[in-house]
């Protein structure tokens, strides 16, 4: 099946710094990728939809200046948490839509990136 790689898998940073998380589709092209946030023992909350070559669409309540998303190629989307604070500590997961599987509805998920802000 299609593989989505996320990097880094975990990161610890100081408050006020920015952190970039990468999401790559390894064996397929993804015109659309999604970024989710998951708090411990909770569900996934959709943050934004990342479309290749255009601006990301953010869900209500998600600060676009805080969570910068760039989808510069068909295989890479990045999420940058700017000026991170302890409340941004969370598990961030990306998913990608495979163009070849347009009618299946299936999304392929990365392994997630755990961010801890001190």
Partner 1 sequence: SQQGEEDPQALSIQEGENATMNCSYKTSINNLQWYRQNSGRGLVHLILIRSNEREKHSGRLRVTLDTSKKSSSLLITASRAADTASYFCATDQSDDYKLSFGAGTTVTVRA
Residues binding partner 1 (CB under 8 A): 4, 6, 32, 34, 36, 41-46, 49, 59-60, 91, 93, 95, 97, 104-112, 114
CA 46 to CA 51: how far, in whole Å? 14
- The secondary element (H helix, E strand) that includes residue 105 is none
Return the closest-CA partner of residue 49 out of 65, 26, 61, 31. 31
Least distance in Å: CB of 69 to partner 1? 15
CA 12 to CA 22: how far, in whole Å? 15
15 or 42: CB nearest partner 1: 42
Least distance in Å: CB of 107 to partner 1? 6
Return the closest-CA partner of residue 94 out of 52, 44, 58. 44
| Residue 28, CA distances (Å) to 39, 56, 75, 83 in order | 29, 20, 7, 32
Least distance in Å: CB of 75 to partner 1? 17
46 or 118: CB nearest partner 1: 46
28 or 36: CB nearest partner 1: 36
Least distance in Å: CB of 43 to partner 1? 5
């Amino acid at each position: 099946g299609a593989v989505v790689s996320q990097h880094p898998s975990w990161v610890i940073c100081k408050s006020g710094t920015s952190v970039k998380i990468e999401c790559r589709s390894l064996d397929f092209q993804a015109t659309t990728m999604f970024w989710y946030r998951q708090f411990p023992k909770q569900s996934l909350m959709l943050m934004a939809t990342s479309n290749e070559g255009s601006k990301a669409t953010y869900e209500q309540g998600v600060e676009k200046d805080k969570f910068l998303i760039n989808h510069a190629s068909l295989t890479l989307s990045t999420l940058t948490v700017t000026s991170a604070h302890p409340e941004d500590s969370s598990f961030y997961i990306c998913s990608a839509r495979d163009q070849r599987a347009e009618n299946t509805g299936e999304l392929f998920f990365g392994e997630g990136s755990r961010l801890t802000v001190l």
